[in-house]
Structure 1
Amino acid sequence: MAGVDGQRGWRNPGAGAARAMAWCATCMWLVLAGCAHYHARPLTPEAVNAALAVHPMTTLWVRRAHLLLPSLPPLVVHKGERLTPDLAAVVAVVGDPALRALRAQEAVARAQVLAAGLLPNPVFSYGVGVPFSGTDLTRAFRVGLGLPIESWVTRAPRVKAALRHARAVNLAIAWQEWQVAARAKALTYALIMGRAERRLLSREIRALRQSVAILADGEVAGYVTLGVAGAARLALRQTEVVSLKVRQRLASLGLQLRALLGVRARAPLRLARHMAHAAPGRGCLHSAPWLQGLTRRRLDLRALREGYASQDAALRAAIAGQFPAITVGVDRARDTSDINTLGAGIAVTLPIFNHNQGAIAEARATRRALFRDYTAHLFAARVGIHRLITRLRYLRREMRRTQSAVHALAHLEALYHAALVKHRIAALTYYQLLEQLVRQRLVLLRDRALRDQLAVAVEAASGRFEWPKACVLRP
């Protein structure tokens, strides 16, 4: 009987172990079936060109929530429509390749939120012992299931920190979108005024060429002196040099704007010559309306506040991490004498040498640094707005003086031209005055372009898309 019992003792546990192994294999298969799979995405030239391709579109809808600009109504950009500065700003936010790459960080932040909310997996253990000496012995086994509970304690602050960090990332990306929009708007204003400079110079060059041709014929006929014709040719050459520099600057500005819009380098830019609204920067200029609500409007300041809140939650998680690592579990065992036991256990890490003081100190120092970083950014934002408003105020005074100079020179040019026809003044004197008039007109146009760009910079620095009601624009 002993032999029979021994044989039974060796056979039945083996069958139970086989069933346990089959059950473990089934559980492993179910777990692996729910795992993520790898999908190749090679960085080939074809894939890169497809990502950079400008997709044809008949209508482009831009939602207000996408830009995080509550004052901007939904806009529709039709194919072939002339771009105003506001429309160029919106299209740049959608088409800029750098922004499209930056928005990929949103997925990383969402993945971090997912990772912060995950709990540790239970630990399953199985062991078997086969006796190799003695009689009337059976196989021993031990099955255990343990669960670490430390992550349960720190889960809430970790999730909060990840959520705040994700909001900070979204706001930081929105701030970059805001900067790109302001840059595109300023470039559009600069191009519009630059094209006005080019038209002015083209008119002057055509007029000077006609004068040079007429004077050249008179020089050949002998009733025009060499000095008169030479002065006209000199004025023509100098104006052509200035025109060439303006065209070069326009080409550079056009390439910058096309890069922001995400179009090819030779794509035509059809800009609206006349804005639907008056150009900014013509109304009252005071810093107070721009500073009101600055911390709510500036997306970078809001991102820094969210980052500070995220770090505060991370500090809470680090403090909660002082809780000792505890693992609780249950196990079922059988020894070689065929004695079965069912028990429970607990494992506790004793916080004697390391009670997370390093992580706590680092989290506190980081939070302190973020606090100072926020105050520094707020101070710099206020100073920047004051500086831009002051520069705009003085620029307006300069423009009034330049406008007066242009009127005076235009009146004087008419008088000099009449005197030149009657041979009462030297031709060189007239053409020098004409050149000075053209240069003053160019200065006035460039001051207008600078005024518009400074006004856009004020909008960007304050987080406003429109001028405050306290600053009513005068046409």
Structure 2
Amino acid sequence: MKTTRTSAPPSKRRGNLALGLGVLAAVLAAGGCASYRPLPLPDHAQLAGRLDDIRHTLALGGAPHVIDTSQPLGVDDIGLLAILNDPELRAERGEFELAQADLTQSKALPNPSVGLGYAALLGGEGTTGALSASLTQDVKSILTYRRRVAAARAHVLEIDAQLLWKEWQVAQKARLLAIDLYWDERSIQSSETAAHTLARTASRVREQVGAGRMSQSDLAPLLSSQATLERSIASLRLTTSKNWADLDALLGMTPDARFALARPRAPAIPTDIDAGIAEATERRPDLIALRLGYRSADENVRAAILGQFPALALGGSWNSDTSNVRSGGPTVTFDLPIFDRNQGRIAQTRATRRLLYEQYQSRLDEVDTTIRALDVRSRQIAQALDAARDDAASTQTQADRARQAFRQGILDRRALTDYDMTALNRRLDAYNLERALAEAHTALALELGSGLPRTRLAPQDTGM
């Protein structure tokens, strides 16, 4: 028995082809689609009450570094803890993700455009329905692709450097708060010790006044000194309470959290300040970020110049009319650059590049001035501190001798109190200068980029 295969009519074959193309396009589109995942908002604050409850492990040089929270914390460790736990830095890190998303978008070329059409035969001398199909691709976006991607990549690196600088600024703030807290607590301890001694002395003099052996003129200076000292202690406690609240906020902890602080150590400062300034331009992330921003702006200028050429779309088309006459060929679509030659975009990108150029020069001048001013201030404070330490030691020796003379009955209690208060004031002066020197050295170290990871510009984009 012979079987005869009957071919489908042309109109049916074309319909199947169009249906197949539509199904294929739908499958490809569905395969690249992202799925929705909810991200519910938190319903409560996430503040820790203890150091053990916050993040204290980080990677330094690829190896994990665990900060020992069971020991008094130094200012450097407190700075690292602030970087790990500051709530505001979490939001700042979202900017880096946005920049990465922009880079992903810039790498994506525009999709080709597909056009399909079918006109059914409703009457007349035709024999079949009319079909049309076209495929076009925007060529202009391909010409500017390399520059757009280079600009987006430089922007990602810029945001990364900016985030690093913000992290170290947060660390700097935490360090300075820790320095203030340490020396304020030393001042409070010394002042409270003196206040207790002064209170005992005033109580004994008051007894002597009541017994008629001393007069009110002997008691009045003691009461005045006691009131002054109590006001000073109260002011220090208010300042300390505020500083603790600020430091706890940077660490993501409740405002009443407290922990032991180690004596601040002065960071190493280069003796050659000119060499330090020269190295700072290669170490400071804010300067690196400005240079990367300038590179991104320069790539945008190049892309804008390429964009002045008219929009161009290349493709092909296939058509079939109602008499089943088929035709096909290339298509070209382009704009006539009569009115818009991208001159606005070019002017905008050039102005942005010039602005970043001026900002970078301004920042270089600011860095140079700030570093030199801090260096001079540090040297002046160091000299004053040496003198203050000598004065504190001398007045303490005099106070010890005065106490011995008082026990021998050679010196009265009021004179002994004067010696003790003088020794206390000189000791507090030395504490304040210790704090000022630590703050100046810490600020100078940040301005010089000391302690920061050395950052280098990424190599120029090639081969894109």
TM class by smaller structure = 0.7 to 0.9
Distance in 2, matches of 1:292 and 1:134, equals 86
1:61 match: 57
Query: Do residues 252 (structure 1) and 242 (structure 2) align?
Result: yes
2:290 match: 304
1:171 match: 161
Distance in 1, matches of 2:347 and 2:391, equals 65
- Where structure 2 has 5 or more consecutive residues not aligned to the other structure, the ranges are 1-7, 453-464
Of 316, 319, 322, 1:330 maps to: 316
Q: CA deviation at 1:22?
A: 4.9
Deviations 1:110-168 (CA, angstroms, capped at 9, x unpaired): 11111111101010101122233313432111011111111111101111100001000
Q: CA deviation at 1:411?
A: 4.4
Of 371, 376, 381, 2:367 maps to: 381
Q: CA deviation at 1:383?
A: 0.3
Distance in 2, matches of 1:215 and 1:398, equals 37
Distance in 2, matches of 1:394 and 1:123, equals 72
Partner of 2:67: helix, strand, or coil? strand
Partner amino acid, structure 2, of 1:92? A
Deviates more, 1:55-64 or 1:289-298: 55-64
Inter-CA distance 179–58: structure 2 relative to 1 (3 Å threshold): closer
Inter-CA distance 286–218: structure 2 relative to 1 (3 Å threshold): farther
Query: Do residues 360 (structure 1) and 360 (structure 2) align?
Result: no
Of 111, 134, 144, 1:144 maps to: 134
Q: CA deviation at 1:14?
A: 5.2
Query: Do residues 106 (structure 1) and 106 (structure 2) align?
Result: no
The question of whether the paired residues in 1 share the 8 Å contact of 2:266 and 2:442 is answered with no
1:225 match: 215
Inter-CA distance 250–337: structure 2 relative to 1 (3 Å threshold): same
Query: Do residues 444 (structure 1) and 430 (structure 2) align?
Result: yes
2:299 match: 313
Distance in 2, matches of 1:388 and 1:12, equals 87
Distance in 2, matches of 1:345 and 1:111, equals 34
Partner amino acid, structure 2, of 1:208? L
The question of whether the paired residues in 1 share the 8 Å contact of 2:54 and 2:252 is answered with no
Distance in 1, matches of 2:114 and 2:149, equals 27
Inter-CA distance 78–403: structure 2 relative to 1 (3 Å threshold): closer
1:30 match: 28
- Where structure 1 has 5 or more consecutive residues not aligned to the other structure, the ranges are 1-9, 67-72, 467-475
Distance in 1, matches of 2:272 and 2:237, equals 36
Written as runs of structure 1 = structure 2, the 5 A alignment for 1:269-280 is 269-272=259-262, 274=263, 278-280=265-267
Distance in 1, matches of 2:221 and 2:412, equals 9
Written as runs of structure 1 = structure 2, the 5 A alignment for 1:427-442 is 431-442=417-428
Partner of 1:213: helix, strand, or coil? helix
Distance in 2, matches of 1:333 and 1:118, equals 31
Partner of 1:83: helix, strand, or coil? coil
Query: Do residues 16 (structure 1) and 6 (structure 2) align?
Result: no
Q: CA deviation at 1:101?
A: 1.2
Partner of 2:239: helix, strand, or coil? helix
Partner amino acid, structure 2, of 1:32? A
Q: Normalized against structure 2, the TM-score is what?
A: 0.87
Distance in 2, matches of 1:390 and 1:269, equals 34
Identity in percent: 26
Distance in 2, matches of 1:190 and 1:83, equals 14
Deviates more, 1:309-318 or 1:349-358: 349-358
Partner amino acid, structure 2, of 1:259? A
Inter-CA distance 251–377: structure 2 relative to 1 (3 Å threshold): same
Inter-CA distance 207–454: structure 2 relative to 1 (3 Å threshold): same
2:395 match: 409
Deviates more, 1:211-220 or 1:12-21: 12-21
The question of whether the paired residues in 1 share the 8 Å contact of 2:132 and 2:319 is answered with yes
Q: CA deviation at 1:331?
A: 1.7
Deviations 1:53-108 (CA, angstroms, capped at 9, x unpaired): 68955983322359xxxxxx964213433211111111111011111110111111
Distance in 2, matches of 1:105 and 1:65, equals 24
**Superposed CA RMSD:** 2.9
Aligned residues, how many?
A: 445
Of 188, 212, 229, 2:178 maps to: 188
Partner amino acid, structure 2, of 1:127? G
Inter-CA distance 393–119: structure 2 relative to 1 (3 Å threshold): same
2:43 match: 45
2:355 match: 369
The question of whether the paired residues in 1 share the 8 Å contact of 2:270 and 2:276 is answered with no
Inter-CA distance 363–317: structure 2 relative to 1 (3 Å threshold): same
Q: CA deviation at 1:295?
A: 0.9
Inter-CA distance 430–107: structure 2 relative to 1 (3 Å threshold): same
Query: Do residues 293 (structure 1) and 272 (structure 2) align?
Result: no
Q: CA deviation at 1:396?
A: 1.8
Q: Normalized against structure 1, the TM-score is what?
A: 0.85
Partner of 1:292: helix, strand, or coil? helix
The question of whether the paired residues in 2 share the 8 Å contact of 1:58 and 1:78 is answered with no
Q: CA deviation at 1:418?
A: 6.2
Q: CA deviation at 1:322?
A: 2.3
Distance in 2, matches of 1:450 and 1:136, equals 96
Deviations 1:313-337 (CA, angstroms, capped at 9, x unpaired): 1111111112322211122211011
Partner amino acid, structure 2, of 1:111? A
Q: CA deviation at 1:408?
A: 4.2
Partner of 2:332: helix, strand, or coil? strand
Deviations 1:249-290 (CA, angstroms, capped at 9, x unpaired): 111111111111121111122212x45xx4348x78652242
Query: Do residues 126 (structure 1) and 116 (structure 2) align?
Result: yes
The question of whether the paired residues in 1 share the 8 Å contact of 2:194 and 2:420 is answered with no
Partner of 1:316: helix, strand, or coil? helix
2:149 match: 159
Partner amino acid, structure 2, of 1:263? M
The question of whether the paired residues in 2 share the 8 Å contact of 1:161 and 1:313 is answered with yes
The question of whether the paired residues in 1 share the 8 Å contact of 2:209 and 2:215 is answered with yes
Inter-CA distance 285–293: structure 2 relative to 1 (3 Å threshold): closer
2:80 match: 90
2:456 match: none
Distance in 1, matches of 2:447 and 2:102, equals 31
Inter-CA distance 149–417: structure 2 relative to 1 (3 Å threshold): same
Distance in 2, matches of 1:179 and 1:42, equals 31
